[in-house]
Chains A and B, each alone.
Chain A
């Protein structure tokens, strides 16, 4: 009796645990256990790459929560991801200590280079992991709350909202480029040594970061699923379809949107924080408007309004990107654009809806055509 999704049933849990187990146990084992020359061994470079995909998947989930369910298309979600990443990057910078090029105990290298004498106040506290972890969620959350409060209260919707979110991320891009902002300017934050006392370059640390990312992805999925399966999730769907009706039913459209937008930004920030130690750098290019548009493409390709689709889309598009930017780099942007066109015109329900779409296509078609399509 439900058009809106339910929380996981027994079958859903079985799938969730099976895939979760495979990703968190089998993948690291295949990297750690077999001998280095064994054919079974998963190459070392794949672990941080898979970890990166998991972070992108969290980001895609966060966008799908607001776009796919509440109909709010943010084209600036990369900003929340990057802010979470910077918060983590600041912690990692503080962990370098005297091991930097200038061996300065109180200042990161780039500040020494800029001839700064003392640590800016907003770097205080980032020596402590717990504080940094808190900021990973709080900074994107507060920005989303304040930005959303003004935007939703002014009833900015649809394409206008998308445009101002692009402006938001572009403004942050320009700000973070500036050296005097104190975030490393153009170069960003890099040269990390260790996280919680573990060397970030060690394969065991990379495996641990990968596992934490996959667990965070699973947690983000469950959180989003719980929200969309709640009555609030149905209010979000209702907002997407008929916002005025929701208001006349006595719901505050602003409050519901603000909740979804803030939760979404926090998730994006967590994704960014896990991303940074695995790629080893965070710089202003993460704020670039094109990055944020790409997130929307992952979600569209995967299947908007299905959380599984967001996961699939983020992983599939990024795997394709990893391979193609190596094999035929100049083709990548055309393929990305082509995918978006295809997802819009040919398979609007994305990868997640593809099986169902093929099934309905197959019925009215003669057997020969159906065989071809099914492939």
Chain B
């Protein structure tokens, strides 16, 4: 693709992406596009390539073939994880990953958007504005009053929220959420859906989820992956009625 920055260029563009591990094609000519401000759900059976797709976007895995562009011009296949993170692409892991031996507050402090160089971090002091931003994020993720707790002492659902909070305070444009409601209670799940819906439009979100009820609640466009490529795409009702989708996934 002759990528040119233009208002109409998709924020994230994957074309013909193939990744193989020992001959197994985790991604097989995957093409996928997300517009700025879009909320997109990605579903698919185990091994469909959902997590590998996130690995490719965030620089953890380099594709064997294909193109990955951010904002029309930035070739993500040439950058490493931290460079991609600094472009504004944030990721929540499938298994909640927070710094368990640091407090909730310290987790957010490290995530907060500010210069990442060694000298900056060595000499950094927290300003009042930064402290306020952390307090606001604590409120958003429902962890006010827990800021002094060790992140390792949080419940599973709270860790998920803390990790989402870390993406928010990092001020990322694109949030890749890998199974954000896994292990959450119904109540926590609906709160998370509310949070995600409130972010849509302002940020671009890609949500990988197994919980079909949750995906339905989000009401977003759905992309179904199967064996490393897109099987179907559209509203949840549309994809649920596709015979191919029923065969490989919903019908099981």
**Interface residues of A, Cβ cutoff 8 Å to B:** 1-4, 227, 230-232, 234-235, 237-238, 240-242, 244-253, 255-256, 259
The listed residue (A234, A241, A247) touching B85 by CB distance below 8 A is: A247
Residue contact A4 to B102, C-beta cutoff 8 Å:
yes
When chains A and B are docked, how far (Å) is the Cα of A255 from the Cα of B115? 13
Residue contact A242 to B99, C-beta cutoff 8 Å:
yes
Query: Which B residues touch A238, using CB under 8 A?
Result: 99, 102, 110
Query: Which B residues touch A241, using CB under 8 A?
Result: 99-102
Nearest-CB residue, chain B, relative to A245: B97
Besides A2-B106, A234-B109, A245-B93, 15 other CB < 8 A contacts? Answer: A1-B103, A227-B122, A230-B121, A230-B122, A230-B124, A234-B102, A238-B102, A241-B101, A241-B102, A244-B97, A245-B97, A249-B166, A250-B85, A250-B116, A252-B116
Residue contact B170 to A250, C-beta cutoff 8 Å:
yes
**Interface residues of B, Cβ cutoff 8 Å to A:** 58, 60, 80-82, 85-86, 90-91, 93, 97-103, 105-106, 109-111, 116-118, 121-124, 147-148, 150, 166, 170
Query: Which B residues touch A259, using CB under 8 A?
Result: 118, 122
Residue contact A237 to B148, C-beta cutoff 8 Å:
no
When chains A and B are docked, how far (Å) is the Cα of A107 from the Cα of B31? 72
When chains A and B are docked, how far (Å) is the Cα of A73 from the Cα of B112? 29
The listed residue (A232, A242, A247) touching B98 by CB distance below 8 A is: A242
Query: Which B residues touch A3, using CB under 8 A?
Result: 101-103, 106, 150
With A238-B102, A247-B85 already in contact, the answer to whether A1 and B97 are too (CB < 8 A) is no
Sample of 23 A–B contacts (CB below 8 Å): A1-B105, A3-B106, A3-B150, A4-B102, A230-B123, A231-B124, A232-B118, A234-B102, A234-B110, A238-B102, A241-B99, A241-B101, A246-B110, A247-B80, A248-B82, A250-B85, A251-B110, A251-B116, A252-B82, A253-B82, A255-B118, A256-B121, A259-B122
When chains A and B are docked, how far (Å) is the Cα of A1 from the Cα of B147? 7
When chains A and B are docked, how far (Å) is the Cα of A298 from the Cα of B121? 30
Residue contact B121 to A231, C-beta cutoff 8 Å:
yes
Q: How far is the CB of B61 from chain A (nearest CB, A)?
A: 12
Nearest-CB residue, chain B, relative to A253: B82
Residue contact B101 to A237, C-beta cutoff 8 Å:
yes
When chains A and B are docked, how far (Å) is the Cα of A259 from the Cα of B148? 28
Q: How far is the CB of A103 from chain B (nearest CB, A)?
A: 51
When chains A and B are docked, how far (Å) is the Cα of A68 from the Cα of B88? 32
Residue contact A234 to B97, C-beta cutoff 8 Å:
no
Residue contact A232 to B122, C-beta cutoff 8 Å:
yes
When chains A and B are docked, how far (Å) is the Cα of A235 from the Cα of B111? 10
Q: How far is the CB of B51 from chain A (nearest CB, A)?
A: 13
Q: How far is the CB of A261 from chain B (nearest CB, A)?
A: 12
Residue contact B102 to A248, C-beta cutoff 8 Å:
no
Nearest-CB residue, chain B, relative to A242: B97
Nearest-CB residue, chain B, relative to A255: B118
Query: Which B residues touch A237, using CB under 8 A?
Result: 99, 101-102
With A230-B121, A230-B123, A255-B118 already in contact, the answer to whether A248 and B103 are too (CB < 8 A) is no
Nearest-CB residue, chain B, relative to A227: B122
Q: How far is the CB of A121 from chain B (nearest CB, A)?
A: 34
With A230-B123, A249-B166, A249-B170 already in contact, the answer to whether A256 and B118 are too (CB < 8 A) is yes
Q: How far is the CB of A215 from chain B (nearest CB, A)?
A: 23
Query: Which A residues touch B82, using CB under 8 A?
Result: 247-253
Nearest-CB residue, chain B, relative to A252: B82
When chains A and B are docked, how far (Å) is the Cα of A151 from the Cα of B118? 18
The listed residue (A234, A244, A255) touching B106 by CB distance below 8 A is: A234
